[in-house]
Amino acid sequence: MENTNIIFSETDYKEYLEKLVYLEKDRIFCRHNLEHFIDMARICVILCYENKVDFDKDLVYSAALLHDIGRIKEIEDGTRHEIASAELTPHFLAATKFSEEDKKKIISLIKNHRNKKNPDKSLEKMFYMADKLSRYCFRCPARDKCNWSDEKKNLTIKY
């Protein structure tokens, strides 16, 4: 988890995270915060084990820390957050010891974390599923106002 902790300890990352939390402070729906990022990473690891998908834990956690950081740009100017997050990611990966191949994989995970057509049994599919499964719809006070269908909502604890 060396690279994950490098990202997490960067001043720039902490500032982005604080700004995102501030921008979403009045949001009644699911927030994009550190708890979501860590929950997502943990669920992704479980899904990978259950589905026998090869993964690197440090890579998954690093991608999870960065996958929604572009929400700031989405809130400010409407840029889709998976695109903005992917554009910001190289900056945060610069100080890490990830190989260029791993950096490309992280960017791919981030770009595709909203793509329901990711190939089955792929790391991208596990990452996508973990993002959805990390939401606590079963205790959300805004559940009735949410645009997710009941079929999509997590109304029971799964992970």
pLDDT 10s digits, 11-37: 999 999 999 999 999 988 888 999 999
Q: Which two tokens stand for residue 137?
A: 């719809």
Global pTM reads 0.93
8 in a structural domain: yes
Q: Considering only 1-10, 11-20, 86-95, 133-142, which range has the smallest mean pLDDT?
A: 133-142
CATH number of residue 137's parent domain: 1.10.3210.10
153 in a structural domain: no
Closest CA to 53 of 111, 129, 104, 140: 129
151 in a structural domain: no
Phi, then psi, of 24 in degrees rounded to 5: -100, 10
24 in a structural domain: yes
Q: What is the pLDDT of residue 153?
A: 87
pLDDT 10s digits, 76-100: 999 999 999 999 999 999 999 999 9
159 in a structural domain: no
Q: Which residue has the tokens 């981030």?
A: 110
Task: Please give the tally of structural domains in the chain.
Answer: 1
155 in a structural domain: no
114 in a structural domain: yes
Q: What is the pLDDT of residue 18?
A: 97
According to DSSP, residue 153 is labeled S
* Residues of the domain holding 17: 2-145
Taking every pair of Cα atoms in the chain, the longest distance, rounded to a whole number of angstroms, is 44
